[in-house]
Chain A
Amino acid sequence: MTRHVVVEPRGLASVKLRILVPVLSVLAALVVGGLFLAITGENPLDVYRKMADVAFGSANGVSNTLISATPLILTGVAAALAFKMLVWNIGGEGQLIMGAVFASGIAIWLGPAAPSWIAIPAVIVAGGVGGAVWASVAAIPRVYLKTNEIITTLMLNFIALSFMNFLVFGSSSPWRDSAVSTFPTGQPIPTNARLPTFFQRLDISIFIAFGLAIAAWWLVGKTRWGFAVQVVGDSPETAKYAGISVPNKILVVFLLSGAAAGFAGALYVAGPIGALEPRSLDLGLGFTGIIVAALAGLHLLAVIPIAILMGALNNSGPALQSIGVPTSTITMLQGAILIFAVGGEFFIRHRIRLPRKESTPQEIPDGVEVA
């Protein structure tokens, strides 16, 4: 039998390839998006130029791009951390919302009298706790009852969203602005709990997000605990033989992943939004975090530049309306980027050869990985 293409599992892909695949994924997505733009009578190059201009063309644009990127760094870390361990936490969305609920709750409870050096750390910690608590609803059944976490985390997103809507639109909770009676909005959190800005609307949350991403990278890559986690991620069986407590590691990573998404919610309400505002929080930031993680190859530092790229896309979306192009172009592009990125995974994991002579494909046993 002749096989003209030989596909072999590859050991470790080169750094060049690991960078090339995401870059090509973005370019391919731009081509696909361009096709749809062209079909509907737009000039794709004009649209893309406009997007780049809005996102990076001015100091104000860059500042807004970084504001959009901040939550994505953390939801990206949340997804990357979990996916590394084959924990399919796709509940970043809900964990972000519950982080925002906890964070704004503590800020309002502390009131305007609390000094900033207490209020700001309290808000951030509360966000992490909120995210972790929400993740635990799926994590505990996953670890102790082996309940599939994909469905539970997914459903928890919708419950969190309804809960936030209930707090602001459906009740007279402390989260709802009592001064506004016509159309319900979130209660503004006291200014002492707000993160200080340093350039236009840009506040220090971007640095906190950088710091947390670096901390996550250090924890997983440079500590004994992180090494154990990586072993569990590579092969739970090996980890078990090595005496590593697998359920314990899964539980902790799951909760940390939830906390990361919760931090994103906290920084967003204490930073640019300044209130539990459902219309500003229901943007799919958790799902976009999954794109960030996948495109970053689950690398916790690579998450940062990718999040800035996705932040740029999100930031440029609303401006497209002014040139008559739907904002949903952005979601379409992001979805396409993710499709190509996940498809590109094949080339990172496999080597394709076109042998000149007839050769029989080698039987190379491979630790078949799902991720």
Chain B
Amino acid sequence: MNDTQLILTMFAAVGLGTPLIFATVGEIITERAGILNLGVQGMMLIGAVTGFWGTFQTGNLVFGVVIAMVCGAALSAVHAFTSITLRVNQIVSGLALALFGSGLASFLGRAGSEPLVGHPSRAQFEPIFTGGIADIPIVGPLLFGHDPLVYLSWLVAGAASYYLFRTRMGLSLRAVGEDPASAEAAGVHVSKVRYVHVLIGGALAGLGGAYFSLALTPTWQDDPIGAAGWIAIALVILASWRPWRAVFAAYLFGAAERVQFTLQTLGEPWSDIPSTLLAMLPFILAIIAMIVLTSGKRARLLGAPSALGVPYFREQR
């Protein structure tokens, strides 16, 4: 592999990793509050279609992104209600969200007399810096060649990290995820904290979805995000519930996805490796990481919230 290919791969990995950062950080925040939301795929797809629609109607990218975040959060509110208020099974509820969201997204893209499907976006995110610093060899494109949402993803990861580990509210949030009864005794409103952070997670997943339809592949198609929502759930574990690590985990997966294309350009014998086998790579990586990192008691040491997935019954303290 020559230098140009390496840089191209790394550059593409940043692009492919960006939606994963948003969704993974969102899911980390949700899980830190003790709620497991397996509906990331659904929330991302809803974000993708509504974000596309918003920009399609107005030509305004910021408007599209805001709509995507609002709709992602709205869908996550359904999960918040079933898992926090009704206290039913979070796993099944999350899967329901994933199904409903992907069905609805595809439906909204195709329904009506003038369906969105097949239309290119009216606007798309472009790199901020052109020329100048972006032309510096190697560092230029990798650090300065990206669109605004890439920088936003770094900001979101940094802010989430600061919020979780350096603020009072972050401490309350983690307490709710570790031991809700003690948190409640210390004056934290467990349900409220959980609701807020499930919604934040939904908004970030929506934003991640919108990155696909407004930056990566700015044309509406039925299933624009692949398996990104499911990968994000695996990345939370790979990142051991820490936002900064999510950035690196997401880029690693972005690179694994991109390698398929890179190998094709390298010629024989690399191009002979079937892309169908390479497509397994991220998922095999996730399973190995899962088994090595989280088996037995190690999960606790890593930072897995103790009360993750366990409904909280206030009356039964």
Instruction: Please list the residues of chain A having a beta carbon within 8 angstroms of any beta carbon in chain B.
Output: 7, 36-37, 40-42, 83, 88, 90, 137, 141, 145-148, 150-152, 154-156, 158-159, 162-163, 165-166, 169-171, 284, 287, 290-291, 294, 325-326, 328-336, 338-339, 341-343, 345-346, 349, 361, 363, 365-366, 368, 370-371
| Distance of A162 Cα from B226 Cα, bound (Å) | 13
Does B276 reach chain A (CB closer than 8 Å)?
Answer: yes
| Distance of A291 Cα from B100 Cα, bound (Å) | 11
User: With contacts A147-B290, A162-B276, A363-B316 known, is A328 near B103, CB below 8 A?
Assistant: yes
Q: Which single residue of chain A is at the shortest CB-CB distance from B275?
A: A170
Q: Is the CB of A151 within 8 A of B233?
A: yes
Closest 9 CB pairs of A and B: A335-B100, A331-B103, A332-B103, A335-B99, A170-B276, A328-B106, A338-B96, A40-B111, A170-B274
Q: List 16 A-B contacts (CB under 8 A).
A: A41-B113, A150-B38, A156-B283, A162-B280, A170-B274, A171-B276, A287-B95, A294-B92, A331-B99, A331-B103, A332-B100, A338-B96, A349-B88, A368-B316, A370-B309, A370-B310
Q: Determine which of A148, A150, A163, A290 lies in contact with B280 in the assembled complex, contact meaning CB atoms within 8 Å.
A: A163
Kindly count the residue-residue contacts between A and B in the assembled complex, taking CB atoms under 8 Å apart. Answer: 179
Q: Residues of A contacting B301 with CB < 8 Å?
A: none
The dominant DSSP class at the B interface is helix
Q: Is the CB of B291 within 8 A of A141?
A: yes
User: With contacts A151-B233, A329-B103, A332-B103 known, is A339 near B291, CB below 8 A?
Assistant: no
| Distance of A52 Cα from B78 Cα, bound (Å) | 28
Q: Residues of A contacting B310 with CB < 8 Å?
A: 370
Q: Residues of A contacting B234 with CB < 8 Å?
A: 151, 154-155
Q: Is the CB of A339 within 8 A of B78?
A: yes
The dominant DSSP class at the A interface is helix
User: With contacts A152-B290, A158-B227 known, is A342 near B107, CB below 8 A?
Assistant: no
Q: Residues of A contacting B82 with CB < 8 Å?
A: 339, 342-343, 346
Does B230 reach chain A (CB closer than 8 Å)?
Answer: yes
Q: Residues of B contacting A371 with CB < 8 Å?
A: 89
Query: What distance in Å separates the Cβ of A162 from its nearest Cβ neighbour in chain B?
Result: 4
Q: Residues of A contacting B284 with CB < 8 Å?
A: 155, 159
Q: Residues of A contacting B275 with CB < 8 Å?
A: 170
Q: Is the CB of A287 within 8 A of B99?
A: yes
Q: Is the CB of B106 within 8 A of A151?
A: no
Query: What distance in Å separates the Cβ of A2 from its nearest Cβ neighbour in chain B?
Result: 15
Q: Residues of A contacting B110 with CB < 8 Å?
A: 326, 328
| Distance of A339 Cα from B93 Cα, bound (Å) | 6
| Distance of A42 Cα from B279 Cα, bound (Å) | 39
Does B315 reach chain A (CB closer than 8 Å)?
Answer: yes
Q: Residues of A contacting B311 with CB < 8 Å?
A: 368, 370
Q: Residues of A contacting B230 with CB < 8 Å?
A: 154-155, 158
Q: Is the CB of B38 within 8 A of A36?
A: no
Q: Is the CB of B283 within 8 A of A325?
A: no
| Distance of A342 Cα from B83 Cα, bound (Å) | 10
Find residues 165-184 in chain B having any chain A CB closer than 8 Å to their own CB: none
| Distance of A148 Cα from B315 Cα, bound (Å) | 29
Q: Is the CB of A36 within 8 A of B104?
A: yes
Q: Is the CB of B290 within 8 A of A342?
A: no
Does B44 reach chain A (CB closer than 8 Å)?
Answer: no
Q: Residues of A contacting B276 with CB < 8 Å?
A: 162-163, 165-166, 169-171
| Distance of A291 Cα from B311 Cα, bound (Å) | 21
Q: Is the CB of B103 within 8 A of A156?
A: no
Most buried by A among B88, B284, B310: B88
Query: What distance in Å separates the Cβ of B309 from its nearest Cβ neighbour in chain A?
Result: 7
Does B101 reach chain A (CB closer than 8 Å)?
Answer: yes
Q: Is the CB of A147 within 8 A of B100?
A: no
User: With contacts A147-B290, A325-B111 known, is A332 near B96, CB below 8 A?
Assistant: no
Does B86 reach chain A (CB closer than 8 Å)?
Answer: yes
Q: Is the CB of A155 within 8 A of B286?
A: yes
